[in-house]
Structure 1
Amino acid sequence: MLVVENIHAYYGQSHVIQNVSLTVEQGELVCLLGRNGAGKSTTLKSIMGLVPAREGKILFQGRDITAMPTYDISAQGLCLVPEHRGIFRLLTVEENLRLAENKKSQWSLKDIYRIFPRLHERRRNSGANLSGGEQQMLAIGRAMMNSPKLLILDEPVEGLAPVIVEEIVAQLKLIRTSGVAVLLVEQNLEVCMQLADRHYIIEGGRIVYENENAVFMADTSVKDKYLSVGAAD
């Protein structure tokens, strides 16, 4: 479904992403892991055309999207939920959702309210009056309204209370069972191991590891080497 082949990306003269390759298949949930500054978010931005890849190729459903502008990439069915969530704080929950409404989407407003009951309860509240967890639910719900074929999530449970994390994990499982593929960047390893089919680890802008979830879960040496804060020195 998504094929990233040997891409390189830069911030100015800084070579941030170096020869990164990864794939996401139909209906699959793939985690991209790494320490802070490893290149996770930049990889997502390169896929979406926000930080264009200067070398390499990005294919989505067999179509080359490497040089497409972001709005055309989004129109292909890739939806990014950024780390800062990007909701409109002055608009109500329902207004935020209706802005993204796509008649082609399998997800209606009623569906979003069924999956995220908290959003229905707060549908007349402004984005500014939501908790962090509710804002994250709104950001995901808004992406679903836009008919995604691949949902890209950047740190969706960062800083959230454990009970809200559990709720969002359950909702992501439901979204995944609907057939929507997911590419997830997340620091919470427990969440990743609950959700993922496969994991990639990025270090210094390069992919250094890839494996299925069961193998990753059993490999403490890999987690210690590439993801432990203490091992970074």
Structure 2
Amino acid sequence: MLELDNIHSYYGKSHVLEGVSLHVDAGELVTLLGRNGAGKTTTLKSIMGLVDTRRGHITFEGHDVTGQQPFHIARRGVALVPEHRGIFSILTVEENLKISVRRGSRWQLEDIYQWFPRLKERRRNSGNALSGGEQQMLAIARALLNDPRILLLDEPTEGLAPVIIDEIVKILAAIRKEGLPVLLVEQNLRVCEAVADRHYILEQGQVVYHGSADDFQADPSIRDRYLALSA
């Protein structure tokens, strides 16, 4: 469904991704792991056409989208929920949701309120009155209303309380059960191990590990080698 083949991406003259290849198949939830600065967010931005990708190919549902404008990629059904969430703070929760509804989407407002009861409770509150966890839920819900074919999530649990993280995990599990493929950038290994089918690890702009969820969990040396904090 989504395939990155040997992509090289840059910020100006800075060569950030150095030959990244990965794929996400239909119905999969795949995580992209790595230390800070490894290139995880840049990978998501490359997929969305927000970063200068000078070599390699990005293919989505058989179409080469390398170098296309972000709005063209979004129209194909690629939805990015960025780390900063990007909600409209002066609009209410319901206004944020309503402007995102796409006609014919498999998820409508009533479905979102069933999945996210907190948002229904806070539907008349403005975006800037929400907690960080509620803002994250709103960002994910807004992406779903746009009827994506694949969801890219950048650090959805960062800075959230454990009880809210548990809610996000349940939402991710429900999205996976619905068959919507997800590429998840996440630092919380507990979250990743709870929901993922496969894992990739990036280090200095390169894929240094790829394995199934079972293989990753069975080999703690992978975590020690690539994800533990350096001394």
Please indicate, yes or no, whether the TM-score normalized by the shorter chain is above 0.5. yes
CA contact (8 A) 2:11 2:52 kept: no
Runs of 4+ in 1 over 3 A off after TM superposition: none
CA distance in 2, matches of 1:101, 1:52: 30
Q: CA deviation at 1:53?
A: 1.1
Task: Give the deviation of 1:67 after TM superposition.
Answer: 2.0
Distance in 2 separating the partners of 1:221 and 1:136 = 32
Paired residues of 2:81 and 2:143 also in contact (CA < 8 A) = yes
Secondary structure in structure 2 of the residue aligned to 1:54: strand
1:175 to partner: Cα distance:
1.1
Equivalent position of 2:46 in the other structure: 46
Q: For residues 145-192 of structure 1, what are the alpha-carbon distances to aligned partners after superposition, in whole Å with 9 as ceiling and x for unaligned?
A: 000110000000001000000011001111111111000000000000
Identify unmatched segments of 5+ residues in structure 2. Answer: none
Alignment of 1:88-107 (within 5 A): 88-107=88-107
Once residues 180 and 127 of structure 1 are traced to their aligned partners in structure 2, the CA distance between those partners, rounded to angstroms, is 26
The residue identity in structure 1 corresponding to 2:166 is E
For the residue of structure 2 that corresponds to 1:49, the secondary structure is coil
Q: TM-score, normalised by structure 1?
A: 0.98
2:109 maps to: 109
Pairwise mapping of residues 1-233 of structure 1 onto structure 2 (< 5 A)? 1-229=1-229, 232-233=230-231
Instruction: Provide the C-alpha distance between the structure 2 equivalents of 1:125 and 1:100, rounded to a whole number of angstroms.
Output: 17
- Residues 8 and 17, structure 1, Cα contact 8 Å, conserved in 2: yes
Report the Cα distance in structure 1 between the residues aligned to 2:95 and 2:185, rounded to whole angstroms. Answer: 27
Q: Quote how far apart the aligned CAs of 1:199 are.
A: 0.1
- How far did 1:99 drift? 1.1
% identity of equivalent residues = 61
| Secondary structure in 1 matching 2:35 | coil
Aligned AA for 1:85? R
Q: CA RMSD, aligned part only?
A: 0.6
Is this contact kept in 2: 1:29–1:195, CA < 8 A? yes
Distance 1:79 1:153 in 2: 9
Calculate the TM-score normalised by the size of structure 2: 0.99
The answer (yes or no) to whether the contact 1:52–1:66 under 8 Å persists in 2 is no
Cα offsets for 1:112-147 (capped at 9, x unmatched): 000000000000000000000000000000000000
Is this contact kept in 1: 2:119–2:138, CA < 8 A?
yes
- Structure 1 residue ranges without an equivalent (≥5): none
